């Protein structure tokens, strides 16, 4: 895929592979995982989120995964709505199924680790 057709953050960062996102678990009490722009100096920072819940049997249920409107709108105006939604759907799928380390999430939730540190929960 060419650069022109790639997903881009409004800050200018091209995101051709979902692995580039920073995936962090800062809002533990809200059961929400943030999808951040790879660029530390990005003015938007948060591009999307994944919301989940933990069932009684300790299994994880996905509630919602989506990208925020400014990010979606920006890309729609560049490469069209259809292409954007198709690409971002692929990104979300990869994030949820491959990149998020759900075992780590469960561990964080049960161990009550300090809330203050930056918690990258993507698989390395």
Q: List strands edge to edge, sheet with 60-67.
A: 22-27, 32-36, 46-54, 60-67
- From the list 54, 46, 51, 44, the residue with the least C-alpha distance to 11 is 44
Q: Does 78 bind Zn ion (CB under 5 A)?
A: no
- From the list 116, 83, 121, the residue with the least C-alpha distance to 105 is 121
Q: Minimum distance between the CB of residue 42 and Zn ion, rounded to whole angstroms?
A: 3
Binding part of the chain for Zn ion, among 2-10, 18-26, 79-87, 106-114 by CB under 5 A, reads 2-10
Binding mask 20-59 for Zn ion (x = CB under 5 A): -----------------x-x--x-----------------
Binding footprint of Zn ion on the chain (CB under 5 A): 9, 11, 13, 37, 39, 42
């Amino acid at each position: 895929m060419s650069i022109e057709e790639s997903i881009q953050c409004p800050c200018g960062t091209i995101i051709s592979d979902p692995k580039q996102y920073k995936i962090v678990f800062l809002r533990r009490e809200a059961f929400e995982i943030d999808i951040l722009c790879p660029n530390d100096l990005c003015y938007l920072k948060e591009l999307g989120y994944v919301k989940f819940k933990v069932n009684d049997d300790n299994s994880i249920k996905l509630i919602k995964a989506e990208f925020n409107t400014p990010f979606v709108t920006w890309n729609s105006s560049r490469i069209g709505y259809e292409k954007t939604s198709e690409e971002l759907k692929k990104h979300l799928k990869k994030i949820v199924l491959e990149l998020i380390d759900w075992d780590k999430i469960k561990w964080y939730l049960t161990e009550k680790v300090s809330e203050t540190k930056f918690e990258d929960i993507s698989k390395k």
